[in-house]
Amino acid sequence: MTEVTLWNVKTKAKEALPADRSAEDPIKMYVCGPTVYDRAHLGNARPVLVFDTLYRLLRHTYGADAVRYVRNFTDVDDRINETALKRQAAGAEGSLEELIRERSDETIDWYHADMDALGALRPNEEPRATDYIGQMIAMTSALIEKGHAYAAEGHVLFDVTSYDDYGAFSGRSVEDMVAGARVEVAPYKRNPMDFVLWKPSPDDLPGWESPWGRGRPGWHIECSAMAHDLLGESFDIHGGGNDLLFPHHENEIAQSTCMGHGFARIWMHNEMLQVEGKKMSKSLGNFFTVRDLLEQGVPGEVVRFVMLSTHYRKPMDWTEQKRAEAERVLRGWRSAIEGVEAGAPDAEVLAALGDDLNTHAAIQRLHQLARSDGGPAVLKASAQLMGLLLDELGEWAAMGARGGDHARIMDLESWLRAARKSAMLSKDFSEVDRLKSELQRAGLEVRMSKETVEVVPKPGYDADALYNISRGEA
């Protein structure tokens, strides 16, 4: 049995998961999911793929029935309300609550379609915040009774001074947090760092009746209530992006601990994503959604490969060069495993994944397996453990690998690359232009950047023309 050790952000040390678990006492994992107001951007996909890979490893290690994975949907949000209000103003039928539900349903469907395309398994449970309002009200009431929260002007706030360890998780003192954070200074707060558990809702927006008036929950109480309801007072793993460390996870720990819950034992955070070495942002023009990439023809499996090539605790840089290389590698691997039944996963791949989910080391081992060790049956099983080389993700490669076409495309790609290298020295690009034009007429896409040259077949490409070009007869 593979030993699984994970870096615990809370203790700043690697900790081993239990040796044995069962369906009656499963490994339990909660991951903070998306706020469903729009399409998931590429950065949103990183935690999905990180924890999906961990989920696959845990299922392999303990058995599918001995793992329970929960990832929530936050569907209480001003941006969802804003879209629903615009639709209502434009004449859409239905109440505002119905339009909000419609928008949330729509966005959740998008999310599922996009993450399915990346090979992510659905969690065991996907709770929506609006289905757990009663549990949030009950937890908020209990925190007031225990002296850890107070009601003021229709709000309920958590009293951070009532919890001595507040700030220990993120390594900050309350004074530091006040100085460095954007906190709402409100007359009803006893302390600027006190955070909202419940807040009023105006009559023209959705709200729920509570002991403190009509309102809605604060963000942090949502995850604590859903995790407690679905996983119990304590569970094994809590995950999310490191942007959630403070204030979201700090506040979750405070309120759940003050309830007397053991809450999560191991806390995991993935690092953020960059694009071509820069933070992804709309102002830089490098912001795109998962759907944008898929519609541009980037296969979901390629996105997954690039993401997993970097260890989850290191920043991940999405580049065109990495995308092109991932596509080339995966085409080669898929050609090698064609018609092969999967064997057992390689021991070194399992060991790498068991060592704090070291997907970078695991993929390096897959490269070794593809070159020599183990054979295609082991390569296939080991890659599939990471959600790669799955049959359902392979249609993109099959379209460009009929018969000997894959090898011809690789040869032509090398030919074009060599021609461009010569042209860079001679400044005569006529051969590059000629070959590029022939390939495009044959129904192949030619992608060229400063770093890479790639030839990708489009659906319905002309195999006979490809053959003629490879023989110099075009």
Which residue positions form the known binding site for Zn(2+)?
Answer: 32, 223, 248, 252
Catalogue the E-assigned strands of 242-388.
Answer: 263-270, 273-275, 278-279, 316-318
H-helix or E-strand spanning residue 79: helix 78-89
Contacts of 42 (CB under 8 A, 6+ apart): 273, 275, 280, 288, 289, 290, 293, 303, 318
Read off φ and ψ for residue 81, nearest 5 degrees.
-60, -40
Q: What is the chain's alpha carbon radius of gyration, rounded to the nearest angstrom?
A: 26
The label of the residue with tokens 């809605």 reads 216
Q: Dig out the tokens for 4 from the structure.
A: 């699984």
Q: Dig out the tokens for 74 from the structure.
A: 């936050």
Of 317, 330, 386, give the one whose Cα is nearest residue 354: 386
Looking at residue 373, its amino acid is D
Q: Dig out the tokens for 457 from the structure.
A: 């077949």
Looking at residue 344, its amino acid is A
Of 280, 276, 210, give the one whose Cα is nearest residue 243: 280
Catalogue the E-assigned strands of 77-173.
Answer: 149-152, 155-158
Read off φ and ψ for residue 446, nearest 5 degrees.
-110, 120
Known binding positions:
32, 223, 248, 252, 282
Known binding positions for ATP:
282
Q: Chain-centre distance of CA 216, in angstroms?
A: 27
Q: Chain-centre distance of CA 357, in angstroms?
A: 15
Contacts of 422 (CB under 8 A, 6+ apart): 431
Contact (Cβ atoms closer than 8 angstroms) between residue 110 and residue 69: no
